[in-house]
Amino acid sequence: MISSRKEKTFNLLFIVPALVLFLVFNLYPLLRTIQLSFFEWNGIDKDMLFIGFAQYKHIIFSNPAFWKSMWNAAYITLLCLTLQNGLALLLAILVNRQIKGENIFRVIFFLPPVLSGIVVGLIWKFIYDGNFGILNTCLISLGFEQFKDFAWLSEIKTALSSVAVVHMWKGFGYGFIIFLAGLQTIPNELYESAEVDGANKWQQFINVTVPSMIPVFTMVSVLTVLGAMQIFDLIYSMTQGGPAGHTDVPITKIYQYMNNGEFGYSTAMAVVFGMLLLIVSLIQFYVSKKIKN
């Protein structure tokens, strides 16, 4: 569809409301934040000390704890991209098979996102508890005696994965409904014509469902990355970043600096973190475009 000059100008009207709100309420605070990242400031003092890129330099070269927290978040993200999205897609496809009770499952699978973080934190701590937890009780009754007293959230080997499991459990519902919506927008006639061509169900899935779903895949995976990298509440309520920093993630670090009167430094951390997320997302878009073509 080729548009004329006049049309192009008229088309801008579609985005004006979004753009205005964005400029005032999103971009302005963002720019202020970036500005703050060049100052040493505790959030209260009347005067701020301009120190240029010093804080960035410190974050990049001499804050290993921050980079470790980044790896922790990356690990959680990787698990989410594969397991959580795999589960969400599988469930969406299963529910989409027009089976009996489809509606009930749709409602149930969206319960974890609806539930309050307070309830989720409490429940999972009951499950993971070393002495009295449901998980260990089950494992011991299955004969795995070595799990007696095993505190899942306090062991270096399991703490991060245990938290990741909770995050995935809480988040798969979003992917589920977006995938479901995606599956529902694929026009029936595509399947019909595939069937006329003699394709079986599997071939239909590969040739019709998968290509139509690529934009949805991209979107869900970008959202998953953003959600998992920005994980915070769960960590805060389940481990406080412990044991000894092994479940620290960027946002808990940023929060820690902010709470210790290092407002400027914490905003610089947020900017560094945001830049990395931006790059990752751009790569995701680029890759998905390549695949689509």
CA–CA distance from 167 to each of 24, 185, 287 (Å)?
Answer: 33, 28, 26
Take residue 243 and report the two structure tokens written for it.
Answer: 């044991």
CA–CA distance from 123 to each of 115, 120, 151 (Å)?
Answer: 11, 5, 15
Is residue 60 near other proteins by the rule CB under 8 A?
no
Separation of alpha carbons 224 and 87, rounded Å? 13
Is residue 10 near other proteins by the rule CB under 8 A?
yes
Which 67-106 residues touch other proteins, going by CB under 8 A? 87, 90-91, 94-95, 97, 99, 103, 105-106
Number of continuous H segments (helices) and E segments (strands) in the chain: 17, 2
Q: Which is nearer to other proteins, 75 or 113 (CB)?
A: 113
In the complex, least distance from residue 220 CB atom to other proteins, rounded to whole angstroms: 10
How many residues sit close enough to other proteins to count as binding (CB under 8 A)? 120
In the complex, least distance from residue 268 CB atom to other proteins, rounded to whole angstroms: 11
Q: Supply the DSSP symbol for 22.
A: I
Is residue 178 near other proteins by the rule CB under 8 A?
yes
Separation of alpha carbons 258 and 151, rounded Å? 30
In the complex, least distance from residue 171 CB atom to other proteins, rounded to whole angstroms: 12
Is residue 230 near other proteins by the rule CB under 8 A?
yes
- Among 56, 67, 154, 207, interactor with other proteins by CB under 8 A: 154
Residue closest to 126 by CA, chosen among 117, 134, 118:
134
In the complex, least distance from residue 245 CB atom to other proteins, rounded to whole angstroms: 5
Contact 178, 220 (CB under 8 A): yes
Is residue 194 near other proteins by the rule CB under 8 A?
no
Q: Which is nearer to other proteins, 34 or 75 (CB)?
A: 34
Separation of alpha carbons 178 and 175, rounded Å? 5
Which 103-142 residues touch other proteins, going by CB under 8 A? 103, 105-116, 118-120, 123, 125, 129-132
Residue closest to 147 by CA, chosen among 163, 136, 135, 133:
136
Is residue 6 near other proteins by the rule CB under 8 A?
no
- Core vs surface per residue 221-235: b (16+ CB within 10 A) or e: bbbbbebbbbbeebb
Choose the binding region for other proteins from 73-81, 138-146, 202-210, 258-266 (rule: CB under 8 A): 258-266
Q: Which is nearer to other proteins, 99 or 142 (CB)?
A: 99
Is residue 215 near other proteins by the rule CB under 8 A?
yes
In the complex, least distance from residue 143 CB atom to other proteins, rounded to whole angstroms: 20
